[in-house]
Structure 1
Amino acid sequence: MGNENSILDDLQTLEIHHWYKKFMSECPSGQLTEHEFKHFFGLRGLDPEANKYIEQMFHTFDMNKDGYIDFMEYVAALSLILKGKMEQKLRWYFKLYDVDGNGCIDRGELLNIIRAIRAINGCNHETSAEEFTNRVFDRIDINGDGELSLDEFVEGARKDEEFMEVMMKSLDLDHIVSMINSSSRRNSV
């Protein structure tokens, strides 16, 4: 049993090493600015709504609010998004979506996020962003106050598959993971 933990630790160490190499190759200063963040994740030339969402994502990753994402913030964010438990991810999404930081997500905040996610993903949808936002609020705003509390958000996301799917797509980092993995394979050959 101890051997399994050792193998797991080795794999995690190797993975973090690959993340570090990628981070430092893209950001030799060790501090990722907002502009570099957009470049790093391939998020350039976005419409204004999508750009605001990416800026909010940057500020959510920048945990110490110094205007940069350092390697530890980068690893913490990637670990949460890629390996975190659903409860942790939902809490992080809530923080990301609560743009004004007042502890609730109102219709306007959610609508802007949905528009941004759609702009980034470039998909056509059967329903408008407004219709989708209204449906989400109708389903998960339990007390009907026009705002989603953390509890309503987490519980609602667990029960509403469509909303959960949209959230998961809002931060799909599969292309980043494959980019990191392909760069590490080239460097180890």
Structure 2
Amino acid sequence: MVSQLTRVTNFSELEVKQWYRLFLKDCPEGVLGEERFVTFFCNFYKRGDLEKKKALATQIFRTFDRDGSGSVDFREFLCGMSALLRGTTAQRLRWAFNMYDLDRNGSLSREELLNVLKLMYELQLTRRFDPDDPDEIRRAESHLEMMTEQIFQALDEDRDGQLQMREFVEGFRRNPSLLRLNSVEMTT
């Protein structure tokens, strides 16, 4: 198993073994269930709306759970971590696409992209701003709507209102400045 995971991930044999020990420490039964993941995620992010944190955690979990079994085994976990931590730009973009694809139909709508961006931004917002301030919420939502529109304008080649995996990955690779849109400060 170690040599196979070394071939399909960006981790060395030693790193695979270290990850495995850590995974078994937290998941002695060898799998990570959705409920446990969601609880861990929500506890890690102390502030913010609990239901929104659960929604984002569930979507992240589903992205790791590639076979849709309702649990993440070590292989799924390590492949996901490899893409996130050491993956190429294309691997990271494919992982992000799968996270944004809420209905798992293989394409992204504006609404899907905007919903996940809002969930992610809220977690960031709670660390920097008062999440109960209606002006800050309005500015954040306006910023995210603008961001979503810019992404679709740049990437939706066939103008069908849906982003396919190829459009998403190749579009961001051709337009790396779009990846920095979410770092733009929200101003009035």
Equivalent in the alignment of 2:7:
none
SS for the counterpart of 2:12 is: helix
What is the TM-score of this pair, normalised by structure 1?
Answer: 0.71
How many Å separate the matches in 2 of 1:38 and 1:56? 10
Q: How far 1:153 moved relative to its partner?
A: 0.7
How many Å separate the matches in 2 of 1:102 and 1:83? 27
How many Å separate the matches in 2 of 1:138 and 1:82? 29
Contact conserved, 1:38 with 1:44, CA < 8 A, in 2?
Answer: no
Residue pairs, 1:27-176, within 5 angstroms: 27-41=27-41, 42-43=44-45, 46-47=48-49, 48-122=51-125, 128-165=143-180
Q: How far 1:64 moved relative to its partner?
A: 2.1
Aligned AA for 1:151?
Answer: R
SS for the counterpart of 1:117 is: helix
Structure 2: runs of 5 or more not aligned: 1-10, 130-138, 184-188
Q: Percent identity?
A: 34
Equivalenced residue count is 158
Closer/same/farther in 2, CA of residues 71 and 45 from structure 1, 3 Å limit = farther
Aligned AA for 2:60?
Answer: M
How many Å separate the matches in 1 of 2:22 and 2:47? 23
How many Å separate the matches in 2 of 1:113 and 1:12? 32
Cα offsets for 1:96-119 (capped at 9, x unmatched): 211112221001000001101102
Of residues 47-56 and 74-83 in structure 1, the stretch that sits farther from structure 2 once superposed is 47-56
How many Å separate the matches in 1 of 2:73 and 2:48? 24
Aligned AA for 2:92?
Answer: K
Q: How far 1:70 moved relative to its partner?
A: 1.3
SS for the counterpart of 1:14 is: helix
What's the Cα RMSD here?
2.6
Structure 1: runs of 5 or more not aligned: 1-10, 169-189
